[in-house]
Chains A and B, each alone.
Chain A
Amino acid sequence: MAKELWKGNEAIAEAAIRAGCRCYFGYPITPQSEIPEYMSLHMPEAGGVFLQSESEIAAINMVYGASGAGARVMTSSSSPGISLKQEGISYMCGAELPGVIVNVMRGGPGLGTIQPAQGDYYQATRGGGNGDYRLIVFAPANIQEVVDLMQEAFELADKYRMPVMMLLDGMIGQMMEPVEWKRPALSPEDLPAKPWATTGTKGERRPNIINSLFINPDACNDHNRHLEEKYQRVIENEQRYEINDADEAEVLFVAYGTPARLARAAARLLGEEGIKAGVFRPITVWPYPYEALHEAASKESVRAVVTVEMSTGQMVDDVRIGVNGIKPVSFVGQAGGVIPTPREVADAARKALGR
């Protein structure tokens, strides 16, 4: 199929509709407002629901309701708005409700800046809400990948009955790249049945209940064990990553999203000086591909592992867990909406190699 030029945010919205999502709830916030704007026109055209909520808190709870009612549903926001959704996300995890949450990250903390950043890594991967829960978190690095992963995000959400987060940054949301719609568009009739949904008993079954309250601690413990087993299955089956130019690499960059592209640009600069650099890019940041990273870092040629982030250093914790001390791990990054330059990244690599 022919390639089309798409803006990241609009591509996300279109990909969701093509994934059979017919329900969107959200609240405007830069740099992702093009998502609700696109949805406001195209969701009704597709026969779906678009609703601008009064807040992000309301939006995520509308998602809770629509998901409970069996719909393929999504919301989107940017960092400060995602903070407000944390309660709802915790409830969705507790009640085992699927849904897709898009976070087009900007600089924080607080109101921060509207420029691209990655300061929400902890919030996404460690959970910003209460309780023992996890989200599947995809971190695409280009618009084609965003589009490809969107359908998968909805599928995994339904499969595991848990929310999936698309973790992007403002740059991916705002930029345009060619997109090919590889998979056929789904309509809601194509989607798997949800016998657990609260769609009315119609006199044919006992009432379904969607709930995260287990007042008896033993029952709550059992529920947590059940969730944990599910998360283990996700860990076993759903890790995604990409490795570039790792053969004979002296330095291994680890980065997700936009910084992975900067790291590859830095690797080119280093290559011009005869320093071989590879890039390990997690595509799921939860579950984190620890073992694959460990293997890449254990290669004999690798002398230093350098993590690149648009934050003051959050994913670097996971890199340390994965590398587990076999190679030195260092960090380079900028926060608050400033994007590190490939030169800075290359400098950090030279420093890590002691040159």
Chain B
Amino acid sequence: MAIVYQKTKGLTDAETHYCPGCTHGIIHKLVAESLEELGVLEKTVGIAPVGCSVFAYDYFNCDMLEAAHGRAPAVATGVKRVLPDHVVFTYQGDGDLAAIGTAEIVHAAMRGEKITTIFVNNAIYGMTGGQMAPTTLVGQRATTAPLGRDRNHAGSPIRMAEILATLDGAAYIERVTVISPSHIMKAKRAIKKAFELQMEGRGFTMIEVLSSCPTNWGLTPVNALNWLNENMIPVFPLGVFKDVTKEEV
């Protein structure tokens, strides 16, 4: 019988610890498939963050390092400078990348560090139990914003894709989501392209993926996807914010 579908070799057989309906798993799969299809799994080094995806080192079937909270881009820099012909990626949540690790990500992008960052934005701190993230929407409740995020007090959501796209070192920056099959296919193309541009040595690449956290949003998995669609996308518009290949034309 012909094989029509097979689990990617980019993932191990480990059972993930993600909550039912969490989209972290889909994003893992897209990253793993891209690396496999590009034939670079054996020369890829990934950096796991601190957040719900901290155990990513058990899930990706390539060499992995676990970094301190927010420091993955600095760790990736160290790896890439030693192994310039390898593929290096970080996989980070919004607390990790856009709060504690803001300096590291901005400076990695500024240097045009030839790495790929997969930025999973779920507008909340998942791992620690639903505290406010820098990407939490105004009015959205969190355990440290029990009455909802107040713009006056805690500001408004930070748009990392837009911010990083202003830096000359950034080669490719796109925001995608995984709430429907067509969105998932688009996300996959974006992730693969980012890896390709990294391999071409074009500079820093980041794909921001809007992701769901049914557990801490207090929604069923399906409602969480709908909530994301209705509330997050208007604040975090999907699209390409930087593409060096387009600038050349």
Tell whether any CB of A sits under 8 Å from a CB of B in the complex.
yes
The CA of A223 and the CA of B144, in the complex, are separated in Å by 40
* Complex contact A80–B69 (CB within 8 A): yes
Residue B185 is within 8 A (CB to CB) of chain A in the complex: no
Is the pair B146, A40 in contact by a Cβ cutoff of 8 Å?
Answer: yes
Chain A residue numbers with a CB within 8 Å of B68 are 80, 110-111
What CA separation (Å) do A50 and B69 show in the bound complex?
22
Using Cβ atoms and an 8 Å threshold, which residues of chain B touch A56? 100
A33: which of B50, B102, B129, B134 is its contact (CB, 8 Å)? Answer: B129
Q: Given A27-B100, A55-B100: A37 and B143 within 8 A (CB)?
A: yes
- With beta carbons under 8 angstroms apart, the residue of A28, A80, A110 that contacts B144 is A28
Shortest CB–CB separation between residue B40 and chain A, in angstroms? 28
- Tally of contact residues, A, Cβ under 8 A: 18
- Report A-chain residues with C-beta under 8 Å of the C-beta of B154: 51-52
Q: Which chain B residue has the least Cβ–Cβ distance from A42? A: B146
- Which residues of chain A in 42-80 are interfacial with respect to chain B, using CB atoms and an 8 Å cutoff? 50-52, 54-56, 80
* Cβ of A157 to closest chain B Cβ, rounded Å: 24
Say yes or no: A52 contacts B131, CB within 8 Å: yes
B204 interface residue, CB < 8 Å from A? no
Q: B residues 78-115 with Cβ under 8 Å of A?
A: 95, 99-100, 102
| Complexed CA–CA distance, A230 and B66 (Å) | 42
A residues less than 8 Å from B70 (CB atoms): 55
| Contact between chains at A30 and B129 (CB < 8 Å) | yes
Mark contacts of B52-71 with chain A using CB atoms, 8 A cut-off: 1 yes-contact digit, 0 otherwise. 00100000000000101110
CB distance from A44 to the nearest CB of B (A): 8
Kindly state whether residue B132 has any CB partner on chain A within 8 Å.
yes
Query: Is B128 in contact with chain A by the CB < 8 A criterion?
Result: yes
Q: Give B95 Cβ to nearest chain A Cβ, in Å.
A: 8
Contact mask for chain B residues 114-146; partner A; CB cutoff 8 A; 1 contact, 0 none = 000000000001011101101000000001111
Contacts of B153 in A (CB 8 A): 51
The residue of chain A having its C-beta at the shortest distance from the C-beta of B69 within the complex is A80
What chain A residues lie within 8 Å of B129 (beta carbons)?
28, 30, 33
Report the minimal beta-carbon distance from B126 to chain A, rounded to whole angstroms: 11
Question: Which B residues are in CB contact (< 8 Å) with A292?
Answer: none
- Chain B's closest residue to A39 (CB) is B144
The residue on A at minimum CB distance from B136 is A52
Interchain CB contact (< 8 A) of B134 among A37, A51, A54: A54
CB atoms of B132 and A52 under 8 A apart: yes
Contact A55 B66 (CB under 8 A): no
**What CA separation (Å) do A80 and B68 show in the bound complex?**
9
Selected from A51, A54, A110, the residue in CB contact (under 8 A) with B100 is A54
With both beta carbons as reference points, the residue of chain A lying nearest to B67 in the complex is identified as: A111
A119 to B81, alpha carbons, bound, how many Å? Answer: 34
- Assess whether A41 is interfacial by the CB under 8 Å rule: yes
A155-B144 Cα distance, complex, nearest whole Å = 27
Q: Which of chain B's residues has its CB closest to A81's CB?
A: B69
Determine whether the beta carbon of A40 is less than 8 Å from that of B69: no
Q: What chain A residues lie within 8 Å of B66 (beta carbons)?
A: 111
- Is the pair B50, A111 in contact by a Cβ cutoff of 8 Å? yes
* CB-CB nearest in chain B for A54: B99
What is the bound-complex CA distance between A40 and B141, given in angstroms? 12
In contact, B146 and A33 (Cβ under 8 angstroms): no
Per-position 1/0 for A76-92, Cβ under 8 A of B = 00001000000000000
Q: Is the CB of A29 within 8 A of B128?
A: yes
Contacts of B143 in A (CB 8 A): 33, 37, 40
What is the chain B residue whose CB lies nearest that of A53?
A: B99
Q: Are the CB atoms of B146 and A41 closer together than 8 Å?
A: yes
Report B-chain residues with C-beta under 8 Å of the C-beta of A52: 131-132, 144-145, 154
Inter-subunit contact A36/B144 (CB<8 Å):
yes
Q: B147 CB to closest chain A CB, in angstroms? A: 8
**B95 closest partner in A (C-beta):** A28
| Given A41-B146, A54-B134, A80-B68, A33 and B128 contact (CB-CB distance below 8 Å) | yes
B99 to A40, Cβ gap below 8 A? Answer: no
Contact of B54 among A27, A55, A111 (CB under 8 A): A111
Tell whether A37 pairs with B50 under 8 Å between CB atoms, given A80-B69, A110-B68, A111-B68: no
Q: Do A30 and B134 contact each other (CB < 8 Å), given the known contacts A37-B143, A54-B100?
A: no
- With CB as the reference atom, state the residue of chain A lying closest to B66: A111
**Which residues does chain A contribute within 8 Å of B54, judged by CB atoms?**
111
Residues on the A chain within 8 Å of B128, using CB = 28-30, 33
Q: Name the B residues within 8 Å of A51 (CB-CB).
A: 153-154
How far is A52 from B127 in the complex, measured between Cα atoms in Å? 16
Q: Please report the C-alpha to C-alpha distance between residue A241 and residue B99 in the assembled complex, in whole angstroms.
A: 40
A28, A29, A41, A111 interface centre (most CB from chain B within 10 Å):
A28
Binary contact readout A197-230 vs B (1 if CB under 8 angstroms, 0 otherwise): 0000000000000000000000000000000000
Q: Are A36 and B102 touching (Cβ within 8 A)?
A: no
Taken together as a complex, chains A and B put the C-alpha atoms of A33 and B68 apart, in Å, by 18
How far is it, in angstroms, between the C-alpha of A50 and the C-alpha of B154 when the chains are bound? 10
- B189-223 CB contacts (< 8 Å) to partner A: none
CA distance A41 to B144 in the complex (A): 8
Residue ID in chain A nearest B146 by CB atoms: A41
Complex CA distance for A30 and B95, rounded to whole angstroms: 14
Pairs across A and B, CB under 8 Å, 14 listed: A28-B144, A30-B127, A33-B131, A36-B131, A36-B144, A40-B143, A40-B145, A40-B146, A41-B147, A51-B153, A54-B99, A54-B100, A80-B68, A111-B54
Leading 9 A-B pairs by shortest Cβ distance: A55-B100, A28-B131, A40-B144, A54-B99, A28-B128, A37-B143, A41-B146, A52-B144, A36-B144
Given contacts A51-B154, A55-B70, 7 further A-B contacts (CB under 8 A): A27-B100, A28-B144, A33-B131, A40-B145, A55-B99, A80-B68, A80-B69
